[in-house]
Amino acid sequence: MKKSRGFTLIELVICIGILLILLSIANINLNVRDKIEAKEQLKTMALDIKQLKNYSQVNNCRTSIKINNDGYILNFLGKSRHVKFNKLVKLKSTNVRVINFTTEGKPSFLANKNSAGTINYTINDKKTVKITIQPVTGKVSYDEFKN
């Protein structure tokens, strides 16, 4: 009787099939994680704008945030912090690129340039997020809409 040490073709096909199923489940979970991360990044941006407003009031200094296509830059007391979004977040439209807060925490209005406005982002082209900064009070609102 001859003993063979090896795998049959059926055993190899079954193992490859199981591995493919496990890899596809892992890929689905990564996409969900990226969507959740994108949503949290935009919520953090709205919170950062609120914190800049409060920081300018408490410390009696001017602060600003610059909106880029791939993230934003916070400026306060000579310090700056750059935040980058993940690949699912896209800037859809905005009527303000730089938001400046006065020492009273209000959006400034210098040289006919308003520092208040609306910023629209899309997450994976399926969900729209709208961040609004009110002109006089500087109140920041965060709204989500499905496309």
Give the pLDDT band (50/70/90) at residue 1.
low
Does residue 137 have a pLDDT over 90? no
Percent of the chain having pLDDT more than 90? 48
Do the Cβ atoms of 55 and 76 come closer than 8 Å? yes
Tell me which residue of 126, 120, 146 sits closest to 46, measured CA to CA: 120
By mean pLDDT, which of 1-5, 13-17, 30-34, 92-96 is the weakest?
Answer: 1-5
pLDDT digits (tens, 9 = 90+) for 108-136: 876 667 778 899 999 988 899 999 999 88
pLDDT score, position 135:
86
pLDDT score, position 106:
87
Token reading at 77: 């007391």
Question: Could you give the CA distance from residue 39 to residue 124 in angstroms, rounded to a whole number?
Answer: 10
Question: Could you give the CA distance from residue 83 to residue 132 in angstroms, rounded to a whole number?
Answer: 19
pLDDT score, position 24:
82
Round the average pLDDT of the chain to a whole number and report it: 87
Enter the pTM of the model: 0.78
Q: Kindly state the average pLDDT of the residues 76-92.
A: 91
Q: Kindly state the average pLDDT of the residues 28-38.
A: 81
Q: Which domains does the chain have, with CATH numbers?
A: 9-146 (3.55.40.10)
Q: What is the DSSP letter of 88?
A: T
Does residue 99 have a pLDDT over 70? yes
Ordered DSSP codes for 44-113 = HHHHHHHHHHHHHHHHT--EEEEE-SSEEEEEETTEEEEEE--TTEEEEEES-SEEEE-TTSPBPEETTE
Sheet containing strand 71-76, strands side by side? 79-84, 71-76, 63-67, 98-101
Strands 98-101 and 140-146: unpaired
Residues 6+ apart with CB under 8 A from 124: 35, 38, 88
Do the Cβ atoms of 72 and 45 come closer than 8 Å? yes
pLDDT score, position 8:
85
Percent of the chain having pLDDT more than 70? 95
